[in-house]
Amino acid sequence: MRIAKPMTPNLPEGKWALFLDIDGTLLEHAAHPDSVSVSDELRQLMQTMERRLDGAVAFVTGRSVSAVDRLFHPLKMRVAGLYGLDHRLTPDGPVEAADEPADIAALADEIEAELGKGVYIERKGPVLAVHTRAAPHLLARATRLVEMALDRLPEGYRVIAGNAGVELMPLEAAKGAAIRRFMEIPPFIGRRPVFLGDDTSDENGFETVNGEDGISIRIKPRGPTAARHVIADVTDAIAWLQANFGDPAKQAGRDAAE
């Protein structure tokens, strides 16, 4: 891990593939994941970027594909959901979904009973997320409960503590693996990857992109990161995407206004 450098305004010329986390990267975090909303301007930017990159744009997120579709409706994008356990490799293609195992469902019930309504338990198939943004004093206890559960769960799970919550997920749930899967198929193949993320779960993706001579960018980092560049906040991340992959005419208008 290292301290990343601020991102320069413009990428060099080249064929790029764009991978985007959602929460904390394109949208500000909220106490409840369903409390966020997508503006028409962001939807339009996504469509423009997909067109300019010949379709080489994908969400790589902890949300499920179905949750992403609800959020960005009516827009449909390529998505690696649940850290790569859910996939839709083409906008109109089938969704490869992951079911919730019985032991993870039981654990979710236990943690909810233990911590009460101060936290939000998000059930995402084999991924269990405990959100404590509305009750930060419960983060340590939530993390401890999830860590203790590893001893009685089948092998193959790991715990990732985030900025405002903790997640339990299978070892194969990794954003880096999801990015590699996209990079092996059209229209991504042969391009240099760019990945924007904001949290601990994105570090694996940064490492993968670095290994592919790509551009790794962390939003609002809190200390060292595998990302080679940083952007201050969500607003600046959107502006950077607009400047590099958005509508050139609109950007020229913004520059003239300034």
Q: Which of 21, 23, 69, 199 is catalytic?
A: 21
Catalytic annotation on 151? no
Query: Radius of gyration (Cα) for the chain, nearest Å?
Result: 18
Q: In what order do the strands lie in the sheet with 127-131?
A: 120-124, 127-131, 165-170, 157-161
d(C-alpha 100, C-alpha 98), whole Å: 7
Burial class of residue 43, CB neighbours in 10 A (0-12, 13-18, 19+): middle
Residue 256 in tokens: 């003239």
> SS3 for 130?
strand
Kindly report the number of other CB atoms within 10 A of residue 190's CB atom. Answer: 10
Active site members: 21
